Structure 1
């Protein structure tokens, strides 16, 4: 097993197997700060991880989705999980759309404790957000072991840079 595969194994242990995990999701505001520079936003969201992608149910008209429509690049960090990185966010559409049926079933199961309380599936603005990881860092043993991962090329790389 190479180091990229070792990192994937740790991610799967921490996030996989249908778990509901809280991640901090960072986007860039649509309006710049007073100096004209991009302003970051961060919020915690419940996410389901599978095969290099985090999935989130959310509202299409939320601030984060408006920001993602302007800039699909996002950053994330697994809360208390020593796993962070960057990704490309994509609106997969209404949770009840036929193409989302299988994924919706997984999300309903992973989020079963709160799904119906937090989501109005009859509203077509109740959507699935996919966060496709492009770069990530996984830390093990309080920093003694570090995996810098390029998900595009599926290799370990220096400080998580995509080559």
Structure 2
């Protein structure tokens, strides 16, 4: 098993198998600040991890979705799991769209304790946000082992500019 596969195994153990993960999700502001720079925005969201993608239920009209529509590059950190990185956000559309049926059932199961209270599936603005990981860092044994993972090329050992 190569280092990329070792890192994937750790991610799956920590975040996969239908676990409800609280992740910090960062996007970029729509408007620049007084200095003309675009500020980052970060918020915690519940996310299900599967095969290099985090899936999140959210509303299409939310600020994060407006920001992702303008700039789909995002950053994330998984609370308490020593796993963070970058990805591309994609709106997969209405939760009840037939193409989302299998994913919808997985999300309902993962988020079962609070799903119906927080989501109105009849509202066509309730969508699935996919965060497709492009690169990530996974830490093991209190920094004794570090995996710098390139999800695009499926390799371990990223370009230094991502560190």
The answer to whether structure 1 residue 6 and structure 2 residue 6 are counterparts is yes
Where in structure 1 do 4 or more consecutive aligned residues deviate above 3 Å? 158-162
Stretches of structure 1 lacking an aligned partner (at least 5 in a row): none
Task: Give the alignment of 1:25-44 within 5 angstroms.
Answer: 25-44=25-44
2:54 corresponding residue in structure 1: 54
Q: Matches of 1:60 and 1:118 in 2, distance apart?
A: 15
CA deviation string 1:118-137 (max 9, x = no partner): 00000000000000000000
Q: TM-score scaled to structure 1, two decimals?
A: 0.97
1:153 corresponding residue in structure 2: 153
Q: Matches of 1:161 and 1:139 in 2, distance apart?
A: 18
Two-structure CA RMSD over aligned residues (Å):
1.1
- Deviation (angstroms), 1:158: 3.8
Counterpart contact for 2:150–2:158, Cα < 8 Å: no
* Count of aligned pairs: 162
Q: TM-score scaled to structure 2, two decimals?
A: 0.97
1:84 corresponding residue in structure 2: 84
2:142 corresponding residue in structure 1: 142
- Aligned-partner SS, 1:153: coil
- Aligned-partner SS, 1:142: coil
Q: Matches of 2:124 and 2:56 in 1, distance apart?
A: 15
Using a 3 Å threshold, how does the CA distance of structure 1 residues 96 and 126 change in structure 2: closer, same or farther?
Answer: same
- Deviation (angstroms), 1:161: 5.5
Stretches of structure 2 lacking an aligned partner (at least 5 in a row): none
